Chains A and B, each alone.
Chain A
Amino acid sequence: MNKNKRISLALASIATMTVCFESCNYKPKNQGRALYNQHCSSCHMENGQGLGELYPPVAKSDYVLANKESLACLIKNGVSGPVTVNGVTYNAAMSGYPQLTQNEISNLVYYILVELNVQDDSYSFKEVKQQLGQCLISQDES
């Protein structure tokens, strides 16, 4: 290996390190988990198991799987009125999280589907963006 090659290799690895600081630790589920802990775990609990008949589970949840495509809208706009999850009816209103960005919602949906509901895959950023574009206007906004 000649000197020039070695220098350029060193420079390349420094460049890689710099890029790594930005993104190598980045995994959708890491941000998804952090967002989940911050916004969802108070009610849905740390492993998504829910609490009694007060707050429904979002892990191993038939409701989540039946409403996969509307999860993004549900997170953004909240939900009210009774919902039945794994055979139990819950009736606590969930406020929406309109402050979350599309990417954040996308990562949160990833965490809920892949990590908490053992799905093979989630939606791409583009698909979540499309889903969000088709949300029914929430009552707060109308």
Chain B
Amino acid sequence: MLAVSIITACESETKQLPILGPTIIKNTVVDGALIADTTFGAIRGFKFWDQDSNVITENTVEGKLYVTDFFFTSCPTICPKMKQQMLRIHDRYLDEDKVVLLSHSIDPVRDSVQRLKTFAEKLGVQTEKWHLMTGNRDSIYSMAKHYVIAAQEDPDAPGGFAHSGAFLLVDTKRQIRGIYDGTDPQEVDQLMDDIQFLNEQE
């Protein structure tokens, strides 16, 4: 009897994933007082090009869960580990159409479509699953800012750019549901658990 109630208790703790952004602060005046309300918006539209010159926009991820990050192909520090971990997600969800991966290069001058293509081939990437994207420099950096991921040109950083190793999980409403360290296999395990959870929930 005790065991049954413990099991029931455990099951009743349902998992929830927070909505992390993007946040919108809405100011309204009620009876002369300013009320600031935080609501959650969706990730805004975007337009980039992937390793096969496909145009990638918000329509590409419509109705899908996606994982996104920022990197560059000649990055000598954290990127190879991020790509190793992203490849795990790529391999695991290769046959799951609802999951796609979007990696933005923050080095659009050197990371041409051709260079991303070579990089993707050497990594064994299927284009329809994992889009390695380049585009207009300002669009990329403003997109990083929109996702609240640190990315900047920095001549003192190895390779010339400083950026975060974060992976973001974005749901079908284009709301951010999780932020993970993309260099840490355990956090990426968690990310894949959360993908599973969102997939079952919807």
A residues near B (Cβ < 8 Å) are 41-43, 45, 51-55, 95
Q: List 19 A-B contacts (CB under 8 A).
A: A41-B81, A42-B76, A42-B77, A42-B78, A42-B81, A43-B80, A45-B80, A45-B81, A51-B80, A52-B87, A52-B122, A52-B124, A53-B121, A53-B122, A53-B123, A54-B80, A54-B83, A54-B122, A54-B123
The total number of A-B Cβ pairs within 8 Å is 31
Q: Which 4 A-B pairs have the closest CB atoms?
A: A53-B122, A52-B123, A54-B122, A43-B80
B77 pairs with A51, CB closer than 8 A: no
A41 to B77, CA, bound (A): 9
Sample of 10 more A-B contacts, CB < 8 Å, known A51-B84, A53-B121, A54-B83: A42-B76, A42-B80, A43-B80, A52-B122, A52-B124, A53-B122, A54-B80, A54-B119, A54-B122, A95-B76
Chain A residues near B83: list those with CB within 8 A. Answer: 51, 54
A95 to chain B: closest residue by CB:
B76
B72 to chain A, nearest CB (A): 13
Chain A residues near B81: list those with CB within 8 A. Answer: 41-42, 45
A119 to chain B, nearest CB (A): 25
Chain B residues near A53: list those with CB within 8 A. Answer: 121-124
B123 pairs with A51, CB closer than 8 A: yes
A53 to B124, CA, bound (A): 8
The interface bits of chain B over 76-110 (1 if a CB of A lies within 8 angstroms of the residue's CB, else 0) are 11101101100100000000000000000000000
Q: Chain A CB within 10 Å — which of B76, B78, B122 has the most?
A: B122
A45 to B84, CA, bound (A): 9
B161 to chain A, nearest CB (A): 15
A55 to B84, CA, bound (A): 11
A7 to B163, CA, bound (A): 59
B121 to chain A: closest residue by CB:
A53
A10 to B77, CA, bound (A): 49
B156 to chain A, nearest CB (A): 15
A45 to chain B: closest residue by CB:
B84
Chain B residues near A52: list those with CB within 8 A. Answer: 87, 122-124
